[in-house]
Every structure is written in structure tokens, then in C-alpha cells.
Chain A
Amino acid sequence: MTPKALLILALLVAVGGCSGSDETPGYDLDSDSQAQVVADAYAARVFAAYQETETKAKDLEAKIKAFVAAPSEAGFTACKSAWLAARPAYGRTEAFRFYGGPIDAKDTGKEGEINGWPLDENFVDYVKDDPDAGIVNKPTEFPTIDAKVIAGLNEKDGEKNLSTGWHAIEFLLWGQDLDDAGPGKRPYTDFVDSGTAKNQARRRTYLVVAAELLVADLAEVRAAWEPTKGYAATWVTRSRKQSLLDVFQGIVSLSGIELGGERMTVAYTNQDQEDEHSCFSDNTTADFAANQEGIAAIYLGSAERPGLSVLVKAKDAAIDAAARKALDDATAAIKAIPAPFDTAIKGEPGRQKVKAAIDALKVQTDALVKAANLLDLKVSTKA
């Protein structure tokens, strides 16, 4: 049959009202007790992951507050270490996005406020060639700096700009990365009265407010997943099939569209120095690894919290084995990318490694889609 004939045939089916289904006869996730176990385990995993992230973010907040009370080189380094220590925990939670759950629910989700990128650096603070840029340096326009001011500028898509979250804090701690070899080099004296740059007190306030807002936003997402409350209460009572579709949608989207596509393929193709998410701290490769850990944990599960693998294996051990292998391969390929990412995308051997990771993520995405199809779950692979 020619491709065109096949297409027309497919259309006939699509439009002709044929009833049909890809489901295995007699199989229904909603009546599979193991599916319930897996969906419930997922909710517990999400709650624990946000709890861990919130704890790490609170530590960052504490370090920042200690630093601004008495700025010092050591205190500044402690802030940066706390930021780097908190990022993997958050990176693992990104696998809980892409299905309109608490993190990115339409209108109420805080994802943009927590992790929005690219950052409007010059909405926040001075940048190269513009020493008076940013809310920090505009006391007349913004007499007070509070959560309302910085979040208010961070509103709806297409209208406002990004001036909060992980990357705003990162920018305040590292400054612009103007160096091919290393991260940004903001001096701690930017936070010392009469030190470097201008408006040091306002910069201290911005840093504290941004940290407090990040903790508050993460607490809100964590609370939504608190067992028996909020969103988690509806999760355990809704259709298993819907829940597991969401679980698959989250990891497939992160694997294929976000990680392999947006964060790697585009940067690989364009080779832009700062087309990377943690561009101030050069932490992007660690972000990738954390994202991948999040994906793998959801599929593989653990003894206490069984993952999707259990359901897939029960139906087709070969498809499960292929998915596991794809996860292992992608994990290894991502780990093989030399840091920093902005250097890796520009020359060998970095580019080969990035390309290998992109290819491994394609295989992984296809394997996960196949696993979802096996359970009659139709995930979208479109950005």
C-alpha cells in the first residue's frame, strides 16, 4: 500500500466513526489493583520530593539571611553552595510538570515564578553596559522591594517579565557569566554598603525577598501534595488511568520535549554561549542529571514505592526491559557531558557527547511512549 493510500485509509477510519481501540481486550487499568498501588506511590514520591526541595530551599534562605546580616566572602560562598545543593532536589521534581498538576496548573501554577527562564536579568540588577538597570537600581520607580513588587512583574505569559525564582537568586549570587571558562564572578561586596556597584542595601533586600518567595511557592506546591489534602486527595480517588496518563505525560515531556529538545537540541544547534538554564553558575549539566534522575525514579520506582515498570513488566517484559535499558543509557550519556555546558556545545569532544545524550534521550522518549501505549495511555509528544 502506498503511503498516500494508507493515509486515506487512516482518514476513513478516523472520520468514518469506526469504533476501535488499541486496548488489549479485557485489560483495564482502572480495575488493576497494582495500578492503584503505583499511582498512590507516585503521589507519595512527589510529596517527599517537594518536601526535600522545600527543606533545601529553606537552608538557602537561612544562609542568605545570615549573609545579608553580616556580608562576608565566606557567607557569600555558603549561599552559593546552598543554592547548588538545593538545585538537584528541584531538578528531580521537574518530572512532575507538563500535565497541569499543582506545579503548572493553568492560572494558579507557580512554575514560572519558581523556575522561569530566560531571566530578565536587567529587570533585577545591573548588567554589563548598564550599571543602572533593574529594580535594585531604580529606587524612584520601586521605592520598596517586596514579594508583591517582584512577583507582580512576573505575571502572565506574554505580558510580564521574569524576575523571581531560582535563576533570579542565581543571578544575584553569581552575576553575569561573561567568562567562557567559568561561572559569573559577582563580588560579595555588591552587598556591602559603600562596596561595589550601587544600591547595596536594596540588593540585599531583593535577595532575601526572592528567597522567601521561592520557599513560599515551594511550600504551596508541597502542601497541594500533602497526603489526604488538596490535590493529593483528588489524586487518590480519581481514575487510575487518568493519573497514570499524567505520570507518563510528565516524564515523556521532560525527556523528549524539554530536556532532549529545548535544553539540548536547540543549544547544540545554535551553540550560543548562554543558551543554558543555569547560565550564571554554570550548573546546567547538574540540572540535566537531576532531571534524568527524576524521570528514572518515576519509571523504575523502589521497593517502598513501586514505579511504572511494575505495570509495564506485567504486560510485556521485553518492552519494560527496553525502557530500563534506555533509561540507563540516557543516564550514562548525560553524565558523560563535560561541564560547563556552554563550553561543551562549542567544540569537541563536548559536542559529540551532547549529541550522544540527545540521541539517547530520543531512544528513551520512544521507549517510554511505547510503554505508555502498552497500557493504553495516549501521551502527547508535542511541545
Chain B
Amino acid sequence: MRTRYLIGCLALGACAGASDPPATLDPDRALSAGEGTVLDTTRDAFGRPLANMRADRRDAFFVGNSFFNRTWVAAPTSTESFDGLGPTFNATSCSACHFKDGRGRPPAEGDRMLSMLLRLSVPGADAHGGPAPEPTYGGQLEPNGILSVPGEGTPKVSYVEQPGSYPDGTPYSLRLPTYRIDELHYGPLAASVLISPRVAPMVAGVGLLEAVDDATLLALADPDDRDGDGVRGRVNRVWDEAAGALRIGRFGWKANQPSVAQQNAGAFLGDMGITSPLFPKENCPTSHLECRAAKSGGSPEIVERDLAAVLFYTRVLAVPARRNVDDPQVVAGEQLFSTIGCATCHVAALTTGAAAAEPELQMQKIRPFTDLLLHDLGEGLADGRPDFSAGPRDWRTTPLWGLGMIETVNGHTLLLHDGRARGPEEAVLWHDGEAKGARQRFTELTRDERTKVIAFLRSL
């Protein structure tokens, strides 16, 4: 069907309607995931296997997908592969937070916090230089518990509007969140507690980001700002459990995970309470007596084979193609995005390495709009919580690919690490620190030009 349609279209010459893009633009710029790019503009857009994957590898993708969606239950049960939930947890399945492999959100007023969590720590560092866990509650608040095990507490978020205006007088308002935890079941938090809210990030594309060589990231880094542009960019160096050494971090809002494998195993343990070969110890702080008394779902609760299925699935999830890349508004917006300095950190294209984990991921020119580096984004966005070498105001440059599809897939447009921005424009306006200059230049654009930048972002 598609082929016939294409030929018809060509014969009619109807495709010539769009203006030719300027020579400076990447002619393949729609192909976010290189040869793996999928054409899907539906709510399934983040859930497809890479387009360059052979058909005989798709059953493995399907099995991994099933595990990603599968609900975990408390042990012991007959369904041994799927028991071991908790004792305390944030969610009962991967897809509860990463719905349709997409992006989570802060709770709407009155709702429970589901596809978002609060990281906890106290000043100092653990044995590997990572955050020192809060002494009673550990590294993360788990609001839910299995039967007879109380959840740790109920996180709440509220917002204060902060009105502002552009130099041209156009008003805007940003909402500043504050967090509190009600019903703390195991006593008060340490007075010095540091809380970092994190929404579940988009899963699609992580395998390609992992496939970018370390050398590529180190070449982009400029920790001492030798080029004097005010933008530094540093790699995080984080503990790699499997290697038993520090490695470059690239996943998580502060680049605190070195690999997709560790990110997944960490989420199984931290978010669902599922132990794995990589993290075999149940996540129960000493004072949680009910938690420590609860039954285990086996040791480990997810076996290597099933963890490998999830790893394969998450690695080969594709990123959908951009839409409307030849629309004159979008073309102009893309050029403005670059000239005002956004693309300094949100680097348009990277090339993956030859040694990537799966053949589909190797030597691909991808267009993720990130450098995967840490940048100081200023006080307004700061979580105040160090994470390995990421400082209290540092965040990893968020990949922007797929941005325009979040609304279709996940039904919202809430951006940034805690979903405070109600759309791309607010997200830009929150940038400060190293991004202050770019933000400033954005505000100084005409209203029409700003609209073009937003049109470009929506085409991603």
C-alpha cells in the first residue's frame, strides 16, 4: 500500500510543494534515530523497535515488551517469574511510570504521585562517591507497600506562580514547585535531607545514546571553558556496579547511571523493589521492621534471562521521525535555535560507535539534541542535591528528540526534571546558569521568531 502511494505521489509531483531547505540544514534531519528511525505519529510512536531490525529479532523485542508492561505481584505466588514486588515500591510495572515508553509527569491536583519520584539523601557521599542515603528512608521515597507493609509516606507538590515578561512586554508565568511528604510512616526525615524530584524520562532511544562512544562525549566536554563561551559541559563519573569502577554517566536526570543495564536494574530495585543479579539486596532500611520481615520473591527476584529481555527491549526502542521538517516556520526555528546558542548543549547530531551492544545501534548518525553532559542551569532549577560529580545546580542536557510527540503519547506537555514547565516555552525560560545567555537571546527575539523556535521544538 505504502509503495503504491509513494509512486503515485511522485508521479503527481505533489511532493515538490514544500520549499527546499537551506543548504546549511542536515538533509536527513528528520531521521532522529538514523536508519532505525520509525514513521509513527500515533500514541505508539515511542514503542516501536528500530526500523533497521531484522524480523527474526522481533520476538525477543516482544518478550521484553511483555516484561516491561507486566505487573509485578507480592511474593510468594504461583507466577514465580513475576513475584517479589516491594516490600515498598513506587509502581508495580515499568510501564506504570514509563507509559507507552514515554515520559512521566507530576501528579495533577488531588492525584497520587505515580510517574514521578523523590530522591532522598543527606550531605556527604557513600563509599563510591554517590549520594549518602537518608538514614531512615534510603535513597528514594517509596509511597506504596505490599499488604502489611506500610508505604513510606505520601509526597505532595504545590506550585506558586511567578509572573514575568519578555522585553517586548509579552507576559508569561512560570510555576515554582515545592515538595512535602505527608504521613511519614517511619519517623521524621533527617533535618539535613536533600530532596530531588524526578519524573520518569522517555525510554525510547536510550540504546542509541548508550552507543555513543565515551571519546565523543569527552570531545564535547569543556570543563574549564577554554573556548570562553560561558558554557562548560562536564561528564559525570559514576559508580559502575558491574565493572566495580567509576565510569562516565549518561542516564538519569543528573547522568548518574553509566549504562542501560544498570539503569534498568536500578529501577527494578528502587522503583519496584525487585532484586536482580546486579542488585541482589532487598531495599529495606534497618528501621523498617515490616519491610524486613516481608517474604522475598526469590534470590534474585528477576533472573538474568528476564532482565536481559528487558535490556534488549529498552535498547532497541526506536525514536520516531520528525514531522514538518520542511515547514518554513520549523526551518527558521531550527536556525534560530542554533544561532541563539541552544544547540551548543543540545547538540543536534551524534554518531554512534562501531562497538555498540546490538548491530542495529552501530554507526548510526542520530539526532538526539543533547551532549549528554552536565551543565549548571542556575539556582531556579537546582535540586541542591549532589550526585557523584554532578553539583547541586547541575543537570544533564536532556535529549530533545521525541519532544513534540509527548503530548500524543502521554497526554501532556509537562517538561523538565520535575514537570514544572507546562510546555517548551516555559522550559526554555527556566534555563539559567550556563544557559543564561541562550535564554536571554531567546527572550530578545521577536514574538514571531519565538513562535518559530517553538514550532521547531514541536517538530522533534
Chain A residues with CB under 8 Å of chain B are 3-4, 6-20, 22, 118-123, 127-130, 133-135, 138, 141, 156-162, 176-178, 261-262, 265-266, 269-270, 272-275, 279-280, 373, 380, 382-383
Contacts and interface: CB of A to CB of B under 8 A. Distances in A.
B295 interface: yes
B147 A270 contact: no
A279 B144 CA distance: 27
Contacts of A127: 76-78
A120 B14 contact: no
B305 interface: yes
A11 B148 contact: no
B326 A129 contact: no
B81 A270 contact: yes
Interface in B1-51: 1-2, 5-6, 8-10, 14-15, 17-18, 28, 30-31, 35, 37, 39, 41-42, 44, 47-48, 51
Nearest to B295: A130
Contact of B15 (A12, A118, A160, A380): A12
A6 B3 CA distance: 9
A307 B63 CA distance: 32
Given A266-B66, A272-B80, 7 more contacts: A10-B39, A11-B30, A14-B39, A14-B323, A158-B114, A272-B81, A274-B79
Contacts of B82: 118
Interface string B136-149: 00000000101110
Contacts of B71: 118, 157, 162
Nearest to B94: A158
B92 interface: yes
B69 A129 contact: no
Contacts of A129: 76, 295
Nearest to A171: B78
Contacts of B2: 10
A3 B93 CA distance: 36
Given A20-B8, A162-B71, A269-B59, A11 B321 contact: yes
A6 B71 CA distance: 39
Contacts of A11: 30-31, 37, 39, 321
Give the size category of B's interface with A. Answer: 35 or more
A176 B42 CA distance: 41
A9 B92 contact: no
A278 B62 CA distance: 22
A114 B67 CA distance: 22
Interface in B91-132: 91-93, 96-97, 112, 114
A113 to B, nearest CB: 14
B261 interface: no
B65 A121 contact: no
A161 B323 contact: no
Nearest to B92: A158
A244 to B, nearest CB: 18
Contact of B97 (A16, A158, A162): A158
A330 to B, nearest CB: 17
A120 B147 CA distance: 10
A161 B79 contact: no
B325 interface: yes
B214 interface: no
Nearest to A121: B77
Nearest to B93: A158
B18 A17 contact: yes
B5 A13 contact: yes
A383 B100 CA distance: 9
A228 to B, nearest CB: 32
Given A121-B73, A270-B305, A274-B79, A15 B148 contact: no
Contacts of B76: 121-122, 127-130, 133
Contacts of A16: 15, 17-18, 326
B431 interface: no
Nearest to A118: B79
Contact of B96 (A119, A157, A262, A273): A157
23 contacts: A10-B2, A11-B31, A12-B15, A13-B6, A15-B325, A16-B15, A119-B73, A122-B73, A122-B295, A127-B78, A159-B96, A159-B112, A159-B114, A161-B85, A176-B77, A176-B78, A261-B62, A270-B306, A272-B80, A272-B81, A382-B47, A383-B65, A383-B69
B405 interface: no
Contacts of B48: 382
Nearest to B59: A265
B335 interface: no
A340 to B, nearest CB: 13
A376 to B, nearest CB: 10
B77 A262 contact: no
Contact of A15 (B28, B30, B80, B295): B30
Q: Interface centre among B10, B47, B70, B147, by most A CB within 10 Å?
A: B147
Contacts of A383: 47, 62, 65-66, 69
Contacts of A274: 78-80
A141 B148 contact: yes
A122 B147 contact: yes
Contacts of B18: 15-17
B199 interface: no
A275 B78 CA distance: 9
Contacts of B93: 157-158
Given A10-B39, A14-B321, A162-B73, A20 B9 contact: yes
Contacts of A133: 76, 147, 295
B47 A123 contact: no
Which 3 A-B pairs give the minimum distances between C-beta atoms? A158-B96, A382-B44, A118-B79
B234 interface: no
A51 B324 CA distance: 49
